Amino acid sequence: MFATVYQKCLRDQRRGLIGWSIGIVALVLLESALWPSISRISGLKEMLDSYPESLRKLFAIDEFTSGTGFLNTELYSMMLPILFLVFAISRGARAIAGEEESGTLEVLLITRVTPMRLLLEQSAVLLTGLTLLGTVLFAAVMGCSAVFGMQVGIGAAAAGSVAMIALAAPFGGLALAIGAATGRRRLALTGAGVAAVGAYVLFAASRIVEAVRPWGPWSPFHQALADGPMGGGVRLGHLSLIASVVVFLAAAVPVFTRRDISAV
Residue 110 has pLDDT above 90, yes or no: no
pLDDT tens digits for 170-207?
A: 999 999 999 998 989 999 999 999 999 999 999 888 88
* Rounded Cα gap, residues 12 and 137, in angstroms: 22
Higher pLDDT, 135 or 225: 135
Summarize pLDDT for 51-105 with one digit per residue, the tens.
666 666 666 665 677 888 889 888 998 899 999 999 999 999 998 888 777 766 6
- ∠ CA 50-52-58, rounded to 5°: 125
What is the Cα–Cα distance from 37 to 50, expressed in whole angstroms?
20
Mean residue pLDDT of the chain comes to 85
Separation between Cα atoms, residue 117 and residue 124, nearest integer Å: 10
> How many Å apart are CA 10 and CA 15, to the nearest integer?
10
Predicted pLDDT of residue 50:
63
